[in-house]
Amino acid sequence: MGRIIRDYAEGDEITTLVKELTQEAINLFEGSAGNTGPSQFTDVHAAKEVLGTEGTVASGRMSLTFAIEMLRRHFGPEVFNHTGIVDLRFLRPVRPGDTITFTGKVTGTSKEANGSRVSVAIEVKNQKGDTTGVGQGSAIVPNAFLPPEDL
Amino acid sequence: MAEVDDRIELDWDALEVGETFEKFEYLLTQEMIDTYRKGVMDPEASFPTIAHKVDVRQYNDRYTDAGSVNARCAFHCYNPPTPGKRLTVTAWIADKYLRRGKNYIVTEAVSVDEDGRLIDRVITHELKQPSEVGKKWGG
């Protein structure tokens, strides 16, 4: 695959990512690490006992994973998988049946040794328009991926 | 015979920032990666290590508490892990703080594979009164 030369400017919007959460997806996420016992993520009774909620919730780490996917698609895996960072705060629960939408906007760039760190503000909303998470992400885009005028 | 739970009950005031847990090792299999990718609906998802929650695993092996809610999590990508390789995790208590009368613990972990490749770093802020969050979430 060829190198993508792209400039990054403050205010640039990232392509949104939409995910529909199901209990099956949550179970697979938890089960992939061998977490097969009942928990607030997989079992209604455990959720009631630990959180006092009427149903299960998705781990915040699933939202983290989706934010990483959004930025990986934007920067490309060759960049993001080696220099990417995502830092998310979880404000409201994400439950099975929710549709969550991830948006991002470039907030700035700063010079690093061999490239530029591009920072992105991230917001996550559910189908009701409630914000379930906010945070930021970044990646160091190597000089070879930037247009000459940005160096 | 029933297993004896020899974990220590968490005393938040006594918990020391900087406490480093015993290293933890696991084998990352292709099956784990495939299941993770199915769960997150992304065939190219590169860091299945996120689901392993390795930063709080060693904490949970040492301490018992009322449960927790993940309030904030940061993930640093260094190199996607390779299936069939053993990963070694070093985890420690990075911070603790009190906010609006609620106790938080920050754990941090770094994963390295058997060839010495740095894989990722994860930093998690856990609220240690999970039922408080349930009340706010309104069931």
Residue-wise pLDDT for B27-48, tens only, equals 999 999 999 999 999 999 999 9
Q: Is residue B12 part of a domain?
A: no
Q: Number of A to B CB contacts under 8 A, please give it.
A: 128
Q: Is residue B129 part of a domain?
A: yes
User: Residues A127-147: what's their mean pLDDT?
Assistant: 92
Q: Is residue B27 part of a domain?
A: yes
> Which residue(s) pair with A142 in the sheet?
A115
- Is the Cβ of B99 closer than 8 Å to some Cβ of chain A? no
Our count of domains for chain B comes to 1
Cβ neighbours of residue B112 under 8 Å, at least 6 residues apart?
B87, B88, B90, B118, B119
Question: Please, what are the domains in chain A?
Answer: 13-21+58-150 (3.10.129.10)
Contact A77 B33 (CB under 8 A): no
User: Which CATH number characterizes residue B125's domain?
Assistant: 3.10.129.10
Pure H helices in A32-75 = 44-50, 60-75
Query: pLDDT category, A65, cuts 50, 70, 90?
Result: very high
Residues of B in contact with A32 (CB under 8 A): 32-33, 35-36, 39, 48, 51
Nearest C-alpha neighbor of A54 from the set B139, B13, B46? B139
Q: Pick A53's closest partner by Cβ from B39, B80, B137.
A: B137
Q: Tell me the average pLDDT of chain A.
A: 92
Nearest C-alpha neighbor of B45 from the set A88, A70, A102? A70
Enclosing domain of residue B116: 17-137
Q: Is residue B81 part of a domain?
A: yes
Burial class (CB in 10 A: 0-12, 13-18, 19+), B81: buried
Query: pLDDT category, A5, cuts 50, 70, 90?
Result: low
Q: Is residue B75 part of a domain?
A: yes
Contact A28 B53 (CB under 8 A): no
* pLDDT at residue A34 in the model: 87
Q: Is residue B41 part of a domain?
A: yes
Contact B78 A85 (CB under 8 A): no
How much is the ipTM here? 0.92
- The percent of residues above 90 in pLDDT, for chain A, comes to 74
User: Residues A97-125: what's their mean pLDDT?
Assistant: 95
Q: Is residue B55 part of a domain?
A: yes
* pLDDT at residue B87 in the model: 97
Q: Is residue B47 part of a domain?
A: yes
Residue A64 and residue B73 in contact, taking contact as beta carbons nearer than 8 Å: yes
